[in-house]
A and B are shown apart, each in its own frame.
Chain A
Amino acid sequence: MKWKTSLSIGAMRARYKKGFVIPLAIAIVSMLALTAYFTVNFSKNQDAKTFHIVNVENAKLLADAALEAGTYKVRTEMNDMGNLNPVDIVKGVVSMLSNPSSSWYLKMRVPGIVVTGGVGASTGIAGLNAEISLSPDSLGLSPTWSKQTLNAGALGITQYIRELGGDDSRTKVELTMMLKDMKPVLSDSGTVLWPGAVTDEGFLQDWIKKLGNQLFDFLGLNDIKFKIDLSQFIKGLTISIMGIPIPIGDILAGVLGNFLTVEFDLGAMLSKALESIAGQLKIGDIMPIKADVVIEKLATLAYTVRVEYVPAGSSIPIKLEVEATRDVKVVDCAAPNPLYSFYWLNKDNQTFGEEAWGRTGGGKFKVMNLNLDPDYKGKFELNDILSFFKGLFSLKIVRFPGLCHIGGAGKQKIPTGLNDLLLIYPSHTPAITMFGNYGYGKCFLPRAFFLGAPPADAIPWFPWISVPPIGVIGIVKVVKAIADKSGNNTQLFGDWCLSPPLNMKINGNVAKTYTRVDGVGFSFPVPFPPCMLGAGAYKYKCEEKGYSYSFFEKEPKAETNGMIENIYTPDQYRKKSSMCYESGGEFSSDSTIRDSGGIVKIDGVIYIEGSASVSGTFYGAGQLVVNGDLTVTGDIVHKPKDGNRIIPFSIICFGTLRTSANCRILAPVYAKNGVAIGASTHIMGNLVCEKFNPGQISRDLTVWYTPEITTSSFLSLIPYVGRYVPDRYRSVIANQFSTYKINNVKN
């Protein structure tokens, strides 16, 4: 075979007489088609790729939204404790923990409650101590009691899927949340519901003896003395011995003489009998009653969210799985506002003597712990008092607020009690009242109600109440200040006292010295339709005692970093503020937050950098935070209630609270560096300070403990933070307290 070596086109054409243009064209057209196909396909792929990138991001956003919505649901549920009181908590904890339909976050809040308490054995009765301990384990709950799974509907994010451009009917979301690593922590020192009391039996015995003797005296029994001459009975008595009559009566009368005269002193007999009876009275010490609420202070909320995001018009899901965790902490919302009328952290351990407290800077410092005036008028009227007694010691009325707490190691010798109201209810007989009236001008109530009244009482006495019809209706334990020693400036801590016939020791660093006045009162019913009035008088003798009372005393917790526990730093308030001003002047000139009447609308935190002067009316819920000195130039008024809804409002000042004009401040006040009172000031709420100097009180400062106002937290907009309200402890997953992190993302 001979190969042609000439491959020239001409030769080819000459040889085959055929062209190759057609095959060549076909080949090129094929290449062209392939290229076009590739180009078009590439474009489509690129578009799809872009589309995919965006939808993967959408899937991530959807997972984020699921986590956000789940967290929101948790937040909503975890603190929904209703209005349970501590007793109800104990009662309800079983149902809470065992009821599958109840929120498991709610269960989480109180997995265990331990209540201890009892009565000492000194009563002669064996001490009664009770302890209740409940926990999920002890109730045999399922190990998955703290787990729940939610879909898009339950999370409320179906609309959000549509907003993202997804097909909500095909898109699937499954969020599983579970608590892990729960670390039960017993509260530091337990919540002392009742600090206990060391009873003074001697006092009671003396009291009963005095009562009896006074009663006998009143009835005239003490004066009853009589003699019985027994000789008269045996006179003429003869016996016959051996038939001989012997006048034995005369003989005995002659021998025994006066021995046969028996004198009876009824008063002494009754007194001895009373003494004997009273001597057998024993009252056991009341042991402290504590409720140690075991709260999960730390736990981890573990999320797993699975998303199958299907864009609208597509059927291909973009799958994503995200694992995340969030810390759960329990925050004591009452800690920033310790709910005392006056709370002085006193980290510097300053001590002032009685003289300094008494004389202050020229003004009087009064703390009124029981405010019966619902409209905060700042003065008491008879109707208020009657309302109080209509309440008859209901818990609502006689819920003793915190009195005062002064920190530091040294004792503050504070004269007390000039304005004490005396309420006497021996042996739980209700509505026995007597107003202290020891010295004109020194007692608040008589001066208010019965100006110039002599030291005698008018006592409302309602016939439908079981009281003795006549006679002694009030044996008083009168509480009186030692104000006499120091003059007018000692109107300090004018507590109203509900004084049961027990002496209780005070806890803390306040030496509240009282002069106890025991005595007897008489009252006579006077018809005064529709009721009877009792009119009478009492007399007493003074006896100085170092006792006071203390209800629901709670020891302060150790401060952290020189701050009151859980209160925010200025920066944190600034961050959470809804309105932030760089100066006080900027706040004052901002008309956007004021209506035509100048009322400041507040919703959230109003933060002012630096010092500011503030007065006026605030409406809404929020906190006024001043990172500097706050000068109050007039009333700061806030309406604490909007219908039945309590609106929280509080003032936080990181400098000194100054007042330059007579004013009322209707808010709990946190003044870090204390107060400088330059004008008559009434705080309807409470006063919490880290530093304090009574010498800065150059005009009268009165703190009226007003529960509705005082219980506003410095921490948040929680409407009501009672010391013994379960809501005090909040499970928190807020950003300020909780660490949130995404641990894993899988496509």
Chain B
Amino acid sequence: MKNVKLKIYPLNLICSAKGVTFVEILIALAILAVAILPSVNVFTSFKKYTIHTEDVQTALRLAQEKIEEYRAVSYPELKALIISGQKNPEPNVQVTSQQNAAGFSYANNPDYKKFKRKITLSFLNNDENTVLITVHVWWYEGNFSAGDQRFVIQKSLLCKELVI
């Protein structure tokens, strides 16, 4: 410990010998507040990111739901949609009261109303034997019209059913 030498500044550089204690306290509290505030923000961030993670997982589920729904459609029908130019059979649809392929309805579930979905069908490599189902799901943090736009894209491959 003898190597440790505290450099002592004269107190009178920042304060006078009289009546500065209260100011010091105020300054200390201010600094403390500045230090604590980000910590408080951490909790807000925790909450924010938790919500975000939930949103991502919900979006993934909504995307997968649509993928399953479209995978259940017969291949000729998907192909016909693409050839007839209906490559976006569900463009920009707000998720509200749809029913998923399993028959589960999430009507009136406010949690889903912030999401929008778009389904795009295309041929992979222009090969008419392979359909690419692309589902975009996006949402906004906070209000629909403001804030960050978040999105999830899921793509699934469906090959032509050759036999029977």
- Chain A contact-residue range equals 35 or more
With a cutoff of 8 Å between Cβ atoms, the chain A residues found around residue B163 in the complex are 75, 78-79, 716, 718, 730-734
B38 contacts which of A36, A575, A604 (Cβ < 8 Å)? A36
Question: What residues of B have a CB within 8 angstroms of the CB of A50 in the complex?
Answer: 52-53, 56
Contact residues, A63-89 vs B (CB, 8 A): 64-65, 68-69, 71-72, 75-76, 78-79
Q: A68 contacts B27, CB within 8 Å?
A: no
State which size class the interface on B falls in: 35 or more
Partner of A603, one of B52, B76, B152: B76
Q: Residue B1 at the A interface, CB < 8 A?
A: no
Query: With a CB–CB cut-off of 8 A, which chain A residues contact B11?
Result: 13, 17-19
Say whether A737 contacts B164, CB under 8 Å. yes
Other-chain contact of A604, B8, B41, B76, B157 (Cβ < 8 Å) = B76
For A46, what are the chain B residues with a Cβ–Cβ distance below 8 Å?
45, 49, 52-53
Partner of A734, one of B32, B38, B124, B161: B161
**How near does chain B come to A505, taking the closest CB pair, in angstroms?**
36
Chain A window 582-626, contacts with chain B (Cβ cutoff 8 Å), 1 for yes, 0 for no: 000000000000000000000111000000000000000000000
B57 CB-CB contact with A under 8 Å: yes
Q: Which of B9, B39, B52, B159 has the most CB atoms of chain A within a 10 A radius of its CB?
A: B159
- A350 and B42 CA atoms in complex are apart in Å by 84
Known: A53-B57, A61-B156. A43 touches B45 (CB 8 A): yes
Find chain B residues with CB under 8 A from A10 CB. 21
Can you name the residue of chain B whose Cβ is closest to the Cβ of A157? B157
- Interface status of A395 (Cβ within 8 A of chain B): no
**Taking each of B41, B154, B161, which has the highest tally of chain A beta carbons within 10 Å of its own beta carbon?**
B161
Q: Is the beta-carbon distance between A9 and B42 smaller than 8 angstroms?
A: no
User: With an 8 A cutoff between CB atoms, is A449 at the interface?
Assistant: no
Residues of B within 8 A of A732 (CB): 163-164
Find out whether the CB atom of B8 lies under 8 angstroms from the CB atom of A18. yes
Residue of B nearest to A60 (CB): B64
- Cα separation A576 to B79 with both chains bound (whole Å): 13
Q: With contacts A54-B152, A72-B162, A575-B74 known, is A39 near B41, CB below 8 A? A: yes
Main DSSP-derived SS at the A contact region? helix
Of the residues A54, A64, A735, contact of B157 by C-beta under 8 Å: A64
- Nearest CB of A to B32, in Å: 6
Q: Is A387 close to B, CB under 8 A?
A: no
Which one of A158-166, A209-217, A464-472 is at the interface? A158-166
Q: How far is the CA of A79 from the CA of B80 in the complex (A)?
A: 25
Residues in chain A near residue B124, CB distance under 8 A: 159-160, 163
B146 in the interface, Cβ–Cβ < 8 Å?
A: no
Interface: B132 (CB within 8 A): yes
Q: Which of A22-30, A190-198, A489-497 contacts B (4 or more CB under 8 A)?
A: A22-30
> How many residue-residue contacts, CB under 8 A, span A and B?
148
Taking A19-B24, A57-B154 as contacts, is the C-beta distance between A604 and B49 under 8 angstroms? no
- Give B94 Cβ to nearest chain A Cβ, in Å: 22
The reply to whether the CB of B82 lies closer than 8 angstroms to some CB of chain A is no
> Do residues A64 and B156 form an inter-chain contact, with CB atoms below 8 A?
yes
Task: Select from chain A the residue with minimum beta-carbon distance to B150.
Answer: A50
> How far does the alpha carbon of A660 sit from the alpha carbon of B156 in the complex, in Å?
49
**Across the interface, do A69 and B157 meet the contact criterion of CB distance under 8 Å?**
yes
- Give a binary string over B125-142; 1 marks a CB under 8 Å from any A CB, 0 the rest: 101011010100000000
Query: Contact mask B42-64 → A, CB, 8 Å, 1/0?
Result: 10011001001100110010001
Q: A331 near B38 (CB under 8 angstroms)?
A: no
B27 and A35 contact, CB distance less than 8 A: no
Q: Tell whether, in the assembled complex, residue B14 and residue A38 are in contact, meaning their CB atoms are under 8 Å apart.
A: no
For residue B4, CB closer than 8 A to chain A, the reply is no
A349 an interface residue at 8 Å Cβ cutoff? no
Q: Cα distance A160–B80 when bound, in Å?
A: 21
Q: In the bound complex, what is the Cα–Cα distance between A637 and B32 (angstroms)? A: 90
Give Cα A737 to B155, complex, Å. 26
Q: Are A21 and B35 in contact (CB under 8 A)?
A: no
User: Any chain A CB within 8 A of the CB of B31?
Assistant: yes
Question: A49 an interface residue at 8 Å Cβ cutoff?
Answer: yes
Answer whether residue A681 sits at the interface, using C-beta atoms and an 8 A cutoff: no
A-B contact pairs, 26 of them (CB 8 A): A18-B11, A22-B9, A50-B53, A54-B152, A57-B154, A58-B154, A61-B157, A64-B157, A65-B157, A72-B159, A76-B162, A78-B163, A156-B125, A156-B130, A163-B134, A165-B153, A333-B164, A575-B74, A576-B74, A578-B76, A716-B163, A718-B163, A718-B164, A734-B163, A735-B161, A737-B164
Q: Would you list the 6 A-B pairs with minimal beta carbon distance, nearest first?
A: A72-B159, A65-B157, A604-B76, A46-B49, A75-B162, A578-B76
Given A39-B42, A61-B155, A65-B156: 17 more A-B contacts, CB < 8 Å: A28-B34, A38-B42, A39-B45, A46-B45, A46-B52, A50-B56, A53-B56, A58-B154, A72-B130, A75-B159, A160-B155, A165-B153, A577-B74, A578-B76, A604-B74, A718-B164, A734-B163
